[in-house]
Amino acid sequence: MPDATGLELIAQRVRDELGEDAVVGTSYYRDQATLEVAPARVRDVLEYLKLRDQEPFEFLSSLHGCDYLPDEPRLAVHYELLSMERVERLRVKTRVGVDEAHVPSVVDLWPGANFQEREVWDMFGIEFGNHPDHRRILMPEDYEGHPQRRDFPIGGEPVIFTFNENEGPRWYE
Amino acid sequence: MSNREGGQNPLAVPYREREKSVTMEALDQGQAPVYGTELERDTELFTLNIGPHHPATHGVLRLLVTLEGEYVHELTPLIGYVHTGIEKSCEDQSYWKVIPFVERMDYLSYYFNAMAFCMAVERLLDVEVPERAQYLRVIHMELNRISSHLFWMATSILDFGAISFLWWGIRDREMTLDLFEMSSGQRMHPRYFQVGGVIEDIPPGWVEKCREFVQRMPPRIEQYEAVLDKNEIFLHRTRNVGIVDTQRLLDLGVTGPLLRASGHSWDLRKAAPYSGYENFDFNVPVGTVGDHYDRYRVRIAEMRESLKIISQALDNLPDGPYITDNRKIALPPRHELATSMEALIHHFKLVTEGFRVPPGEAYAAVESPRGELGCFVVADGSSKPARVHMRDPSFVNLQSLKDMSEGTLIADLIASVAMLDPILGGIDR
């Protein structure tokens, strides 16, 4: 784990390389370093951290979404980076609002992010620009809504039969 | 947002088109039948749907395979058939009630799911786990690793056509399930790990029974190896089949035995020890070629290393409490309830509301039998988690199936699925 100072150094290097607006903030909590970046710059930051930084994080161990209702901006994507050589983890996080839920895809950097970005799109409705295969993965392809959002209702989902298959589940409105 | 009319997503791709079978007419008209590929005019492609209900897919995995004769030209895994929304359900449970939920994700390595979740919550609470609890956790996790690998062996070698292995593997796995039943009352999904320790100390006689298992296993493993290592059919079907190089595996995020079989020695138990793994002397088996044979060898060798760890943990099992004495997190001992009003209040609060976790985020990763199992928990200060996400290794590793099997024979595809060891409960969650 990079310590609190190490995290600030990483943030400073990212700022020097990509501009002041790339890094939104840093936080260090329970021995975990989190670098918060602007949604439009997240791919640039991750590319820098993977390929060009002096202490690179070459492995993406997890990519997941989160809904921080009632905080704004509500949605977030987390990238759990790992350096196998130094055994260090860094969480890169980006927050987006529900109305502008767009994040650039990192599938070209890590092909393994493919399924995980599709899952975030499926569950949270965050779009990944330039994703090669942008569609739902776990829910049925004609499902309406993004069920992991905190304001998504629980229960009461109607069963679709032939007679009502084209009506659409209006219960979500 | 997609809906029944479709087409609203500007990034949508014509996946219905991709999944179509290829006809001779389309070829005659010069249309490239498979998305993004150029085909020669005199080849005919055949799209075959395998699964989701097929015994060789280890669950409800659906594979859409485009075949060129007997060779796999393109492969698309389609998943989600056992998606049960466990992550969503977890948001509506207090922390201690989440444990049975997450245990049902990867249903062959339940102790690891509980461990990842407990580690994440313990990190948020900043609570110390007593040493005895750490050792008990290690013993149970390694027993679970053996039982998971035994079940992998049982079902995978079955896919190669050797049905006896199913009975042998399940026979030996039964011994670990008996041990789980003895320590927790349940054979699967035992809810044994709790935040701060384990729910109960092991009963008298458990250690002896566990030692008996540790002594009985090595000759059994030798027998299995003796059958497989000299079996010409098995060797022909595994050696130099399904090779994926290390860099590609790392880019795909693959961890666990699949990565180690290609020669990369990444193992979280060694690299970033948790729960006292630094106290044990064990090796990390690695392969050299990265084919199916190495994957088989690595898993068999891992069972031996697990036995070594269990044996050391039983020898050095420390005395002391089995769960943290922080009454705000762990239930008070039963006998205190009769005499202490405070204990009764703690018991009542913990059972009705559960403990509260200060706001924050934590990611904790353990080395499950299939790779890095990570749990991401967001706490908002209440007694229920705001988000629980499992980075399941099966879900990520499944993406390497394409690399393993494209260009190989369809019979090798079945072998690749077997050697991948996917658990659909973990993939779909």
Q: Which residue of A has its CA nearest to B389?
A: A64
pLDDT at B39 over 60: no
B266 and B237 part of one domain: yes
Domain check: are B40 and B145 in the same one? no
Residue A110 inside a domain? The answer is yes
Written as one letter, the residue type at A158 is P
Q: Does B363 touch chain A (CB under 8 A)?
A: yes
Contact B87, B78 (CB under 8 A): no
What are the backbone angles phi and psi of residue A63, rounded to the nearest 5°? -135, 120
Assess whether pLDDT exceeds 70 at residue B78.
yes
> Distance between CA atoms of B183 and B180, rounded to whole angstroms?
5
ipTM over 0.85: yes
The answer to whether residue B90 scores a pLDDT higher than 60 is yes
Q: Which two tokens stand for residue B105?
A: 């994700």
Whether A169 is in a domain gets the answer no
Instruction: Give a yes or no: residue A22 inside a domain.
Output: yes
Q: Do B12 and A148 touch (CB under 8 A)?
A: no
Q: Does residue A171 fall inside a structural domain?
A: no
- The answer to whether residue A166 is domain-embedded is no
Residue A72, domain member (yes or no):
yes
Which residues in chain A are closer than 8 Å to B362, comparing Cβ atoms?
30, 32
Task: Give the pLDDT band (50/70/90) at residue B12.
Answer: low
Surface of A (6-25) touching B: CB under 8 A = none
- B31 and B171 inside one domain: no
What is the count of structural domains for chain A? 1
- From edge to edge, which strands make up the β-sheet containing A32-37? A23-29, A32-37, A88-96, A75-83, A59-67
Contact residues, chain B, for A115 at CB < 8 Å: 395-396, 398-399
Is the separation of the CB atoms in B261 and B287 below 8 Å? yes
* The amino acid at A90: L
Q: Is A26 on the interface with B (CB under 8 A)?
A: no
> Domain of A122?
4-141
Is some CB atom of chain B closer than 8 A to the CB atom of A150?
Answer: yes
Local confidence band at B161 (pLDDT 50, 70, 90 cut-offs): confident
Specify the pairing of strand A127-129 against strand B371-379: unpaired
3-state secondary structure chain B: CCCCCCCCCCCCCCHHHHCCCCCHHHHHCCCCCCCCCCCCCCCCEEEEEECCCCHHHCCCCEEEEEEECCEEEEEEEECCCCCCCHHHHHCCCCHHHHHHHHHCCCCCCHHHHHHHHHHHHHHHHCCCCCHHHHHHHHHHHHHHHHHHHHHHHHHHHHHCCCCHHHHHHHHHHHHHHHHHHHHHCCCCCCCCEECCEECCCCCCCHHHHHHHHHHHHHHHHHHHHHHHHCCHHHHHHHCCCCCCCHHHHHHCCCCCHHHHHCCCCCCHHHHCCCCCHHHCCCCCCCCCCCCHHHHHHHHHHHHHHHHHHHHHHHHCCCCCCCECCCCCCCCCCHHHHHCCHHHHHHHHHHHHCCCCCCCEEEEEEEEECCEEEEEEEEECCCCCEEEEEEECHHHHHCCHHHHHHCCCEHHHHHHHHHHHCCCHHHHHC
pLDDT of residue B429 exceeding 60: yes
pLDDT at B4: 41
Residues B247 and B392 grouped into a single domain: yes
Going by pLDDT thresholds of 50, 70 and 90, the confidence category of residue A18 is confident
Residue B146 lies in a domain: yes
Could you tell me if B42 and B107 lie in one domain?
A: no
Residue B61 half-sphere exposure toward CB, CA atoms < 13 A: 27
> Given CB atoms, is A66 within the 8 Å cutoff of chain B?
yes
- Residues 6 or more apart whose Cβ sits within 8 Å of residue B31: none
CA distance A123 to chain B (A): 10
My answer on whether B56 and B107 are in the same domain is no
Domain identity same for B72 and B110:
no
Interface of A with B in 107-136 (CB under 8 A): 110-116, 119, 123, 125, 127-129, 131-136
The verdict on a CB contact (< 8 Å) between A141 and B272 is no
Residue B183 placed within a domain? yes
Amino acid B9: pLDDT: 56
Chain A CB contacts of B250 under 8 Å are: 58-59, 84
Which residues have CB under 8 Å from B285's CB, separation 6+?
B260, B297, B298, B301, B302, B305
Predicted local confidence at residue B14, as pLDDT: 64
Q: Domain check: are B73 and B100 in the same one?
A: no
- Tens digit of each residue's pLDDT (9 = 90 or more) over B130-149: 999 999 999 999 999 999 99
* Domain annotation covers residue B402: no
Domain ranges, residue B54: 1-81+420-429
Which among A132, A134, A168 has the least Cβ separation from residue B9?
Answer: A134
Number of independent structural domains in chain B: 2
CB contact under 8 A, A110 and B251: yes
pLDDT at A144 over 90: no
Q: Is A173 part of a structural domain of the chain?
A: no
Domain shared by B304 and B378, yes or no? yes
- Residue B410 belongs to a domain: no
Whether B406 is in a domain gets the answer no
Q: B216 and B266, same structural domain?
A: yes
Cβ pair B67, B43 in contact under 8 A: no
Task: Examine the domain organization and report whether B247 and B268 are in the same domain.
Answer: yes
The CATH code of the domain that includes A137 is 3.30.460.80
pLDDT in tens, A52-109: 888 899 999 999 999 998 888 899 999 999 999 888 999 999 999 988 888 999 999 9
Facing residue for B399 by CB, picked from A114, A132, A152: A114
> Among A68, A98, A138, A165, which would you mutate to test the B interface (most chain B Cβ atoms within 10 Å of its Cβ)?
A138
Question: Residue B43: phi, psi to the nearest 5?
Answer: -100, 145
Residue A153 DSSP one-character state: P
Residue B120 lies in a domain: yes
B113 and B222 in a common domain:
yes
pLDDT of residue B35: 47
B236: in domain: yes
With CB atoms and an 8 Å threshold, state whether A116 touches B15. no
Q: Which pLDDT value is given to residue B7?
A: 45
Q: Please report which confidence band the pLDDT of residue A7 belongs to, taking 50, 70 and 90 as the band edges.
A: confident
Which of B428, B416, B426 is closest to B50 using CA atoms?
Answer: B416
A135 neighbourhood in chain B, CB within 8 Å:
2, 9, 12-13, 15
Q: How far apart are CA B289 and CA B354, in angstroms?
A: 50
When pLDDT is cut at 50, 70 and 90, the band that residue B2 belongs to is very low
Among B3, B88, B272, beta carbon nearest to A148: B88
